């Protein structure tokens, strides 16, 4: 398979609007909801990431703490033990940017020193007051996610937009540059399955924030809610949500099943964006 065009080093030069970027998920946890966690298996972690890049992943996202419902919080020391060796190994093995999925500034800082170049904070800068300052001082892109409970369908978009706008302002006040902010509406975080489906339909309204949108629906419970399948049997459901997310304005999709979703992204981009950045057979 032809590889995806490599991202420029500076986020300001990323091809926003030209094609959808694919972020491949590497969980270095023992309790990943999707059952794909790899802990203390550096060879397997590197092999999985290399396969993702070969299949067309633009970014590799590494996380050492599960955020599934009912997860047990992980101390910073344990998260560091899981994440840092993996990022160090990946930085030497793959030619794409590495994102660290964490809400702890101490973990993010160590990850950046080990070779990561993006902070993906599922708590949207709210769990650790030092995170925004770190992102600003490091000069790296930061993904700010919405994770608050939504009380009703009529509050869905207004509450997400208002809260993400507040968090964007917080990042800007800390010195993060506007061009380095990415937003994530937080599928599965504080939202019922029905609200997640509604959010996917109305995703385009988040364009009002003026920042690129990352969508993470891969294998999530909203798909199991509709199809009645376990997390490892949600490829088709994920594909449907990825295609719809792109049609409704997503700029990055965060996925487990990279080879399949790269094909979905390319086909959807060809329709939605008219992108022809790969060779045809």
Q: Take residue 128 and report the two structure tokens written for it.
A: 């650790």
> What is the distance of C-alpha 212 from the center of its chain?
12
Determine which one of 211, 220, 234, 266 is catalytic.
220
| 254 flagged as catalytic | yes
Contact 224, 195 (CB under 8 A): no
Contact 260, 241 (CB under 8 A): no
Contact 64, 83 (CB under 8 A): yes
| 220 flagged as catalytic | yes
Residue with tokens 């959010």: 199
Q: Take residue 29 and report the two structure tokens written for it.
A: 């946890």
Contact 179, 136 (CB under 8 A): no
Backbone angles phi, psi at 18, to 5 degrees: -90, -40
Residue 273 DSSP class? T
Provide the terminal-to-terminal Cα distance of the chain, rounded to the nearest Å.
10
Determine which one of 88, 123, 234, 254 is catalytic.
254
Q: Take residue 47 and report the two structure tokens written for it.
A: 């092999």
Active-site positions read 220, 254
């Amino acid at each position: 398979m032809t590889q995806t065009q490599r991202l420029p080093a500076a986020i300001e030069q990323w091809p926003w609007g030209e094609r959808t970027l694919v972020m491949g998920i590497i969980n270095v946890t023992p309790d990943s909801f999707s059952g794909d966690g790899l802990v203390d298996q550096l060879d397997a972690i590197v092999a999985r990431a290399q396969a993702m890049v070969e299949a067309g992943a633009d970014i590799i996202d590494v996380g050492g703490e599960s955020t599934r419902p009912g997860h047990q919080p992980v101390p910073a020391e344990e998260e560091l033990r899981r994440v840092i060796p993996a990022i160090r190994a990946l930085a030497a093995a793959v030619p794409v940017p590495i994102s660290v999925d964490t809400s702890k500034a101490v973990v993010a800082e160590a990850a950046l020193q080990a070779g990561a170049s993006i902070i993906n904070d599922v708590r949207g800068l709210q769990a650790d007051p030092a995170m925004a300052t770190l992102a600003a001082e490091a000069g790296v892109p930061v993904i700010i996610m919405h994770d608050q409970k939504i009380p009703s369908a009529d509050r869905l978009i207004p509450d997400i937009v208002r809260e993400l706008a507040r968090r964007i302002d917080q990042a800007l006040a800390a010195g993060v540059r506007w061009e380095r902010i990415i937003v994530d509406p937080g599928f599965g975080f504080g939202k019922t399955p029905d609200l997640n489906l509604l959010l996917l339909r109305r995703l385009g309204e988040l364009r009002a924030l003026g920042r690129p949108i990352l969508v993470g629906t891969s294998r999530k419970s909203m798909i199991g809610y509709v199809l009645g399948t376990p997390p490892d049997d949600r490829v088709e459901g994920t594909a449907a949500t990825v295609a719809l997310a792109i049609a409704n304005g997503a700029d990055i999709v965060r996925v487990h099943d990279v080879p399949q979703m790269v094909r979905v992204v390319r086909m959807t981009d060809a329709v939605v964006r008219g992108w022809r950045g790969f060779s045809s057979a």
